[in-house]
């Protein structure tokens, strides 16, 4: 009976207990029965991943919103400096989100809560991918998104009959996802450390299928999207909440452009709203000038593009079918013509990389004036086909170092020493004062300049040993 009672029905723009079928009285009673502590752990990486301004964790906010329909929620984001209590006696359930880079910290918190007899739930990419490992540190692991398994999970928490793993037989349509309630995150006294960009989600999944990415493993190659009205309502809600039209949204989508008609209509509507936005996008749609024009007109000021490599063999080996080397320059030009800056991701350490790869990348970045280049070392994440392929050659399984800035294995055409030496030099060259001027001259004076300035200071201190 309980399971039916708490079935999720639809979506409402605000936190609203009508999303459950039960009469209000029962819901109120249920709400007071269990207290949840939700934790976003900080990683122990030595790199700048979790320091300074951090983005609001939409994943945990969505978990909190759903949990908050039935239970009391306390929300802690360790990256803000908020502290997880040592004594968990005020809580019944400790639920922790984890990626690989903060898994060891998530496990530490989980172990401590288990010792105190609490129900511990682990969710997020890493526990999903390595559920057997995660199971050692919790009562239950949630595989993938909470929305698709919430009915069963909530009922078991209420009844005290937890199962070791919750994995949905099928993914729910995104229309059934509740509108995220940001007050959980914003109520922290340290909330000013959050980026002012508001995370928003329109689509989920990515059909490209790169072998180093966890998305195809967790969600398959399917691509789901929310009804446009839900996304636009959410944007209007935030405009009202902050009291201005020009709100900046950051799409958390894996790859926002895969349904062209949906994507174009979304952009047309955003143009009317007068918002600003940035997103991850794959480049295969951007070689058409009209798409870049529409993106610019709709308020896009930055797109994050995984160029990954300038080596066609590497692109082929990682199954990055969406990247065509011949289009790289065209895509960049189309975006620049429309005032859109590019956060370009480049990875090194692939087997096909040689010392020449660094020069090629440098030349591409400088010639095309990429505003915000980001360099990483290829990292086989657990659960991906790439991890299985590289496992015998991976140097360590220290999750604290799975932040894409640590040396994972020796590539076949270069020594590890040469890889790191060149990796550091490339970053220092690209972020030298003169190089920044060459890439950024004439571009709007905004946070991208500040990011370059910060990178200039940061890269000066870099040493190859830092990546070991």
Q: Is 62 in the site for ligand B12 (CB under 6 A)?
A: yes
Biggest alpha carbon distance in the chain? 68
Smallest distance from the beta carbon of 388 to ligand SF4, in angstroms? 16
Query: Residue 201, interface with ligand SF4 (CB under 6 A)?
Result: no
H helices present in 93-148, as ranges:
103-115, 125-129, 131-135
Give the span between the Cα atoms of 292 and 274, in whole angstroms.
Answer: 17
59 scored as a contact of ligand B12 (CB under 6 A): yes
Nearer to ligand SF4, 81 or 220 (CB): 220
Binding to ligand B12 by residue 295, rule CB under 6 A? no
- Helix or strand holding residue 37 (H, E): strand 35-40
Between strands 203-204 and 224-225, the pairing is antiparallel
Name residue, tokens 């590019």. Answer: 342
DSSP assignment letter at 215: H
The answer to whether the beta carbons of residues 426 and 375 sit under 8 Å apart is yes
Q: Which of 20, 134, 202, 213 binds ligand B12 (CB under 6 A)?
A: 213
Least Cα distance to 27 among 35, 18, 15, 14 occurs for: 18
Please classify residue 169 by burial: count the beta carbons closer than 10 Å to its beta carbon, then call 0-12 exposed, 13-18 middle and 19+ buried. Answer: exposed
**Rounded CA separation 260/255 (Å):** 12
| Residue 255 contacts ligand SF4 per CB under 6 A | yes
Q: Which stretch binds ligand SF4 (CB under 6 A): 152-160, 206-214, 331-339, 382-390?
A: 206-214
Q: Name the segment binding ligand B12 (CB under 6 A); options: 49-57, 231-239, 266-274, 456-464.
A: 49-57
Q: Which does 57 bind (CB under 5 to 8 A by kind): ligand SF4, ligand B12, none?
A: ligand B12
Residue length of the chain: 468
The torsion of the CA quartet 333, 337, 343, 348, rounded to 10 degrees, works out to: 10
Q: Give me the least distance between CB of 278 and ligand B12, in Å please.
A: 9
Name which of ligand SF4, ligand B12, none residue 101 binds, using a CB cut-off of 5 to 8 Å depending on partner kind. Answer: ligand B12
Whole-Å CA distances, 388 to 195, 264, 379, 380, 382: 35, 38, 12, 8, 8
CA distance 93 to 162: 11
Please identify, using beta-carbon distances, which residue of 55 and 412 lies nearer to ligand B12: 55
Token pair, residue 415, equals: 């020594």
Copy the structure tokens of residue 175: 């229309």
- 324-357 CB burial, b ≥16 within 10 A, e <16: eeeebebbbebbbebebbbbbbbbbbbbbbeeeb
β-pair partners for 300: 277
The pair of structure tokens assigned to 463 is 């040493």
Q: How far is the CB of 209 from ligand SF4 (least distance, A)?
A: 5
Residues 192, 98: Cα–Cα separation, whole Å:
23
Nearest-angstrom CA–CA distance, 321 and 230: 31
User: Binding partner of residue 335 among ligand SF4, ligand B12, none, CB under 5 to 8 Å per kind?
Assistant: none
Partner touching 105 among ligand B12, ligand SF4, none, CB below 5 to 8 Å by kind = none
Q: Which of 78, 254, 353, 403 binds ligand SF4 (CB under 6 A)?
A: 254
Cβ at position 326, least distance to ligand SF4 in Å: 18
| Residue 318 in contact with ligand B12, rule: CB under 6 A | no
Tell me which of 142, 178, 185, 332 binds ligand B12, using CB under 6 A. 142
State which of residues 151, 215, 217, 459 lies at the interface with ligand SF4 (CB under 6 A): 215
In angstroms, what is the minimal distance from the CB of 215 to ligand SF4?
5
Q: Which of 315, 82, 290 is nearest to 185 (CA)?
A: 82
**Residue of 122, 213, 218, 305 that binds ligand SF4 (CB under 6 A):** 213
Chain mean position to CA 370: 22
Task: Check residue 305 for interaction with ligand SF4 (CB under 6 A).
Answer: no
Subset of residues 377 to 416 that bind ligand B12, contact rule: CB under 6 A? 381, 403-404
97 interacts with, out of ligand SF4, ligand B12, none, CB within 5 to 8 A per kind: ligand B12
Alpha-carbon gap, residue 457 to 78, rounded angstroms: 26
Instruction: Mark the segment that binds ligand SF4 (CB under 6 A) among 98-106, 209-217, 357-365, 434-442.
Output: 209-217
Q: Is 65 in the site for ligand SF4 (CB under 6 A)?
A: no
Q: Name beta bridge partners: 342.
A: 303
User: Which x/- pattern, by CB under 6 A, does the window 97-136 give for ligand B12?
Assistant: x-xxx-------------------x-xxxx----------
Partner from ligand B12, ligand SF4, none binding residue 121, C-beta < 5-8 Å depending on class = ligand B12
* Minimum gap (Å) between residue 150 Cβ and ligand SF4: 25
Residues at the interface with ligand SF4 (CB under 6 A): 206, 208-210, 213, 215-216, 254-255, 282, 306, 322
Residues at the interface with ligand B12 (CB under 6 A): 49-50, 55, 57-60, 62-63, 95-97, 99-101, 121, 123-126, 142, 144-147, 201, 213-215, 252, 254, 280, 376, 381, 403-404
């Amino acid at each position: 009976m309980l399971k039916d009672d708490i079935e999720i029905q639809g979506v409402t723009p605000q936190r609203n207990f009508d999303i459950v079928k039960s009469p209000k009285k029962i819901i109120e009673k249920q709400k007071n029965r269990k207290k949840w502590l939700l934790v976003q752990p900080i990683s122990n990486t030595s790199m700048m991943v979790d320091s300074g301004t951090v983005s609001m964790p939409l994943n945990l906010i969505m978990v909190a919103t759903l949990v908050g329909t039935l239970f009391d929620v306390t929300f802690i984001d360790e990256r803000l400096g908020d502290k997880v209590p040592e004594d968990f006696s005020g809580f019944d359930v400790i639920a922790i989100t984890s990626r690989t880079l903060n898994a060891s910290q998530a496990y530490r918190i989980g172990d401590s809560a288990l010792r105190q007899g609490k129900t511990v739930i682990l969710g997020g990419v890493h526990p999903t991918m390595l559920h057997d490992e995660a199971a050692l540190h919790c009562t239950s692991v949630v595989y993938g998104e909470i929305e698709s398994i919430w009915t069963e999970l909530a009922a078991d928490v209420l009844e005290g009959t937890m199962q070791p793993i919750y994995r949905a037989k099928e993914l729910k349509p995104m229309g059934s996802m509740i509108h995220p309630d940001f007050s959980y995150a914003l109520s922290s006294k340290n909330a000013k450390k959050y980026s002012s960009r508001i995370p928003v989600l329109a689509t989920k999944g990515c059909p490209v299928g790169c072998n180093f990415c966890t998305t195809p493993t967790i969600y398959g190659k399917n691509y789901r999207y929310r009804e446009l009205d839900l996304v636009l309502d959410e944007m209007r809600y935030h405009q009202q909440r902050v009291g201005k039209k020009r709100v900046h949204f950051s799409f958390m989508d894996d790859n926002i452009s895969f349904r062209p008609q949906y994507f174009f209509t979304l952009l047309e509507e955003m143009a009317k709203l007068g918002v600003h936005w940035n997103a991850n996008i794959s480049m295969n749609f951007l070689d058409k000038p009209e798409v870049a024009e529409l993106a610019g007109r709709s308020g896009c000021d930055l797109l994050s593009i995984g160029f990954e490599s300038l080596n066609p063999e590497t692109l082929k080996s990682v199954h990055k079918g969406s990247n065509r080397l011949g289009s790289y320059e065209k895509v960049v030009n189309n975006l620049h013509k429309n005032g859109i800056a590019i956060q370009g991701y480049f990875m090194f350490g692939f087997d096909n990389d040689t010392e020449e790869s660094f020069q090629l990348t440098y030349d591409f970045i400088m010639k095309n004036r990429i505003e915000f280049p980001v360099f990483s070392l290829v990292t086989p994440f657990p659960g991906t086909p790439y991890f299985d392929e590289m496992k015998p050659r991976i140097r360590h399984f220290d999750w604290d170092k799975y932040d894409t800035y640590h040396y994972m294995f020796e590539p076949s055409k270069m020594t590890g020493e040469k890889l790191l030496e060149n990796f550091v030099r490339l970053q220092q060259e690209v972020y030298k004062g003169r190089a920044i001027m060459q890439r950024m001259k004439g571009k709007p004076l905004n946070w991208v300049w500040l990011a370059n300035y910060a990178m200039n200071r940061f890269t000066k201190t870099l040493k190859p040993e830092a990546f070991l």
